[in-house]
Amino acid sequence: MLCQLLAATGMAGNPHSYFREEDIKDWADEWGVPRDGLPGSSLPSHDFLDAALAAARGDTSVFGLRLMQESLSGLLTYLRSLAPEKGTDRACLETAFGPLVFIHLHREDTVDQAISLLRAEQTGLWHKGADGSEIERLTPVAAPGYNFDRLHAHVTHLDAYKAAWPMWFVAQSITPLSVSYDALCADPVAVLATICDALGTAPIPSDRVKVSTAKLSDRTNAKWKARYAKDLQTVSDAP
C-alpha cells in the first residue's frame, strides 16, 4: 500500500521489493538483465543494481526501495560482492544507493498480519483494488481454512522479523521514521506528508493521494484471531 501511494505522488520514486530473492529473476527478465550475473550468482554483476536504481527512481530524483527483513542479508552480500565494503551495513547501502532515509513500516499486531498472510496463501488473492477488483492473484480461487500450526508458524516468524529491525537500526546508528500500518490506513495523507518532509520533497497535493487498494480482512479474520488465542492458551496450558 505505501509503495503504491509513494509512486502515485510522482515525487517519491517507484518503490518495490526489487531485491526479494523470489522475484529477482522476474525483475531481471522484465529489465532484460542477463541471469548469469544476478544477486546470489557466483559472479554477480552491476547490471541488476543499475537496472534496479533506474526502476526505483522512475521519473523522479528519489530512489525508493521496499526491503523486508528476510531480504536484508542477501542484498548486503550482493552489494559487498560488487564493492567490498569493510564498514557497516549502513555504509554498504549508502555506497550503493546514496544518502538514505529509512522508513520503518510496521504492524503492531503480528497475529492480524499472520492471518492475512495465511489467507492470501490459501485463497491466492494478495491484493484487491479499492473498487473490489483483483489486483494480484497468484493461484486459482480457493477457500481459506483455519490452521493453527501454520498460523502459529507465521506469527513466530513475523515476531522474529519485527524484533530484528529495531536491533539492526540501533547497531547501525539509524533513527528511522517510524510508520505504523494502522496509522497509514487511517490517514494516508498525513503519513505521506510526514514522509515527504523527511525526504525533503515538496508537500504532496491531497488530490494525488489515492488509495487504490482495499483491506482483505473481514469477519473471518476476527473469528480466526479469537480461535487462535484460545488454541494458543490450550497449548500453553498443556503439561
CA-to-CA separations, 52 to 101, 139, 160, 199, in angstroms, rounded:
18, 27, 28, 20
Q: Is the pLDDT of residue 72 over 90?
A: yes
pLDDT tens-place string over residues 164-202: 999 999 999 999 999 998 899 888 888 988 998 898 887
Distance of CA 170 to the CA centre of its chain: 20
What confidence score (pLDDT) does residue 84 get?
78
Residue 210 has pLDDT above 70, yes or no: no
3-state secondary structure 164-175: HHHHHHHHCCCC
Question: Could you tell me if 147 and 115 are in contact, meaning their C-beta atoms sit under 8 angstroms apart?
Answer: no
Rounded to the nearest 10 degrees, how much is the dihedral formed by the CA atoms of 111, 116, 117, 122? 130
**What is the DSSP code (8-state) at residue 177?**
E
For 114, the grid coordinates are: 499472520
**Using CA atoms, how far apart are residues 191 and 196, in angstroms rounded to an integer?**
9
Q: How far apart are CA 25 and CA 164, in angstroms?
A: 27
pLDDT digits (tens, 9 = 90+) for 14-43: 999 999 999 999 999 999 999 999 999 999
pTM assigned to the model:
0.84
| pLDDT of res. 9 | 81
| Sheet containing strand 134-137, strands side by side | 134-137, 125-129, 213-214
At 234 the pLDDT is 87
Give the containing element (helix H, strand E) for 157: helix 148-171
